[in-house]
Structure 1
Amino acid sequence: MKQGRDLKVGVERFPIRGRFTISRGAKHEAAVVVATIGDGVHQGRGECVPYARYGESVEGVAQAIEACAPAIAARLDRAGLQALLPPGAARNALDCALWDLEAKILGRSAAELAGVAPLHAVETAFTISLASPDEMAARARDAATYPLLKLKLGDDGDEARLAAIRAAVPKARLIADANEAWRASDLERLLQAAKAAGVELIEQPLPAGGDAALQHIHRVVPVCADESVHDRASLRGIAKRYDAVNIKLDKTGGLTEALATAAEARALGLKIMVGCMVATSLAMAPALLLAQDADWVDLDGPLLLDRDRVPGLAYTSGTVMPAPAALWG
């Protein structure tokens, strides 16, 4: 008889270096929920970040994971998990824990199990939080060793921010994220400002559910869906409005659905960004499988923290290495 499995759930908090500010507000710590699944010999871990924008709370997500303990004890697999929980943070933690556990039991890498070629280092963006034009320009200048900067926009003064940052870092590649804060009436003007600043991509300029205008304008800068897309089921409805999609494991509900979402996005002609919430290396590690052939990678969560897990991912001037086996996968 196969031994049952046990589930442990923990909430951990990691201070953010300074503060992380977007159009919805600022925060000073990353609150993560970690699921650990063990079989008596091996343990697999997965980390998620509950997001209030999607109606999630730390307590609610932890409870949702804990409620799966009987199914885990009965050896729930990843296919069964997809049917048991909806896309979101809770399913992400469990899905990634199951990938990690399977890799450890079989003595094979999660990449190999997923049919992904041996992992290589990838270039990640580094995020500049929303602030005044001068402050963002100064932060961008301080981060000039990173070849790709991600600018948080979404407030009055975005044109000035874009111009100031480009003047401060004339050689850096730039992408930007408005976090649903632009108005349709300002869209074409702000896209032109982004083009003038040499921005490669704008994430989610309009609110999810209010982004129809994107289909009817000439997008002078490619536009990427974030809040408008969660998993495969949401792709077809937005494919004509966007040029790319930001795939995050906390939205898809784990690596299993994220891999399928990426394949479907490619089939629809969409480019791919692999993104993250502010979290530790444990949350980034499974996303690196998805990032191998992505058009843009934004997995800088640990770089925004005062401290990370040990062992964690190794970052060098905007390049992140594959995870050590002791961390995940």
Structure 2
Amino acid sequence: MTIILDAGIEAFPIAGHFTIARGSKSEAVVVSVRLEQDGYVGRGECTPYSHYGETPEMTLSAIEALAPALAGGMTRLELQDALPPGAARNALDCALWDLEARRAGTSVAALAGIILPQRIETAFTVSLGTPDAMAVAASRAAHLPLLKIKLGAPGDAERLGAVRAAAPDTRLVVDANEGWHEDDLDVLLDICRHCRVELVEQPLPAGADAALAEINHLVPICADESVHALDGLEALVGRYDAVNIKLDKTGGLTEALAVAQRAEELGLAIMVGCMVSTSLSMLPARLLASKARWVDLDGPLILAKDRPGGLVYRGGNIDVDASPLWGG
């Protein structure tokens, strides 16, 4: 029953550049995990995020430290106590799900009791830039059903107006990445309403979002950085209308499924999101699609090249066919 662990750091170049309010990057650095047991192989991937105090090296070290426990037969449930929510646990949790499904000769969806929807519509991200640059990007993507607009810097009103003019019929969500100030909320939310924005993600910094309980939500507001896992979910009620569930925050699919269930009980709508990463990260996350009102799993589309055997995207939709990468 010994599980053999192999893990490493990989870098995937981004097509062009990817910019949010906190900065730009030209590559996605991920930590990948491979677990082998009795000839069966399970895989997982995570994206360490410096904003959360994670580095690839620290994440890899935390994963490799569990090699003896895995060799001794550590289970997925035991993993939840061995590591806190975060990137390291995510890669291992997803690899254990994959391994379990392959050993059982079934799919992870079947193990989890999930029926994938016939169609998974995903947002396509428009990176933060000048109004003109964002308008050009939005125009090129205007044939897609849903765009996620990165904002969070001075000039956001002009950016949003330019995007809406360039893509007049496309559904829009906005991600401010903690970049707005509470003094500007009413004005910016009103502009979002006039531009027919469906959702505004994390307008204020995490830990400084109390004002959201005092304002009129002209557009539904979604928490991202303000909550990572089950702990703290109840505190969103009254401040937020929705929660963005990311496996790199929850520490894997196991807790993500629990977060989705609890969010529904609290009356919070669900968005499923991702970091910029490969299809190996998107495949576990798409199991939440049946519970999500908004799906944002376009990470591989931002890369210059995805992993072989990755997801297929057609017209803003993710094919639900099985992939050899993960999930059985």
For the aligned pair, the TM-score class normalised by the smaller chain equals over 0.9
1:36-55 matched pairs, under 5 angstroms: 36-55=34-53
| Secondary structure of the corresponding residue to residue 235 of structure 2 | coil
Count matched residues: 327
| Secondary structure of the corresponding residue to residue 231 of structure 2 | helix
In structure 2, the partner of 1:317 is: 315
CA distance in structure 2 between the partners assigned to 1:40 and 1:12 by the alignment: 26
Q: 1:311·1:324 contact (CA, 8 Å) conserved in 2? A: no
Task: Give, in angstroms, the shift of residue 291 of structure 1.
Answer: 1.2
Q: 2:116·2:290 contact (CA, 8 Å) conserved in 1? A: no
In structure 2, the partner of 1:20 is: 18
Q: Out of 130, 133, 144, which is 1:132 matched to?
A: 130
1:225 is the counterpart of 2:223? yes
For residues 89 and 323 of structure 1, do their structure 2 counterparts lie closer, same or farther at Cα, with a shift above 3 Å needed?
Answer: farther
Deviations 1:35-85 (A, max 9, x none): 111113101000000000100001000000000101110111111000000
Deviations 1:100-159 (A, max 9, x none): 000100001100000112553300000000001111011000111211000000000000
1:188 is the counterpart of 2:186? yes
| Secondary structure of the corresponding residue to residue 301 of structure 2 | helix
For residues 119 and 35 of structure 1, do their structure 2 counterparts lie closer, same or farther at Cα, with a shift above 3 Å needed?
Answer: farther
Residue identity opposite 1:101 in structure 2:
L
| Secondary structure of the corresponding residue to residue 236 of structure 2 | coil
CA distance in structure 1 between the partners assigned to 2:300 and 2:324 by the alignment: 17
Deviations 1:224-276 (A, max 9, x none): 00000111111111111000000000000000000000000000000000000
Residue identity opposite 1:181 in structure 2:
G
| Secondary structure of the corresponding residue to residue 173 of structure 2 | strand
Structure 1 residues not aligned, in runs of 5+: none
CA distance in structure 1 between the partners assigned to 2:284 and 2:268 by the alignment: 22
Task: Give, in angstroms, the shift of residue 292 of structure 1.
Answer: 1.9
CA distance in structure 1 between the partners assigned to 2:321 and 2:30 by the alignment: 19
In structure 1, the partner of 2:284 is: 286
Q: 2:116·2:320 contact (CA, 8 Å) conserved in 1? A: no
Q: 1:111·1:119 contact (CA, 8 Å) conserved in 2? A: no
Q: 2:19·2:127 contact (CA, 8 Å) conserved in 1? A: yes
CA distance in structure 2 between the partners assigned to 1:325 and 1:205 by the alignment: 35
Q: TM-score by structure 1 length?
A: 0.98
| Secondary structure of the corresponding residue to residue 26 of structure 2 | strand
In structure 2, the partner of 1:60 is: 58
Deviations 1:184-215 (A, max 9, x none): 11111111111111110000000000000000
In structure 1, the partner of 2:153 is: 155
CA distance in structure 1 between the partners assigned to 2:176 and 2:85 by the alignment: 23
For residues 152 and 110 of structure 1, do their structure 2 counterparts lie closer, same or farther at Cα, with a shift above 3 Å needed?
Answer: same
Q: 2:116·2:289 contact (CA, 8 Å) conserved in 1? A: no
CA distance in structure 1 between the partners assigned to 2:122 and 2:7 by the alignment: 29
In structure 1, the partner of 2:238 is: 240
When the two chains are superposed, the root-mean-square deviation of aligned CA atoms in Å is 0.9
1:260 is the counterpart of 2:258? yes
Structure 2 residues not aligned, in runs of 5+: none
Q: TM-score by structure 2 length?
A: 0.98
In structure 1, the partner of 2:99 is: 101
Residue identity opposite 2:48 in structure 1:
P
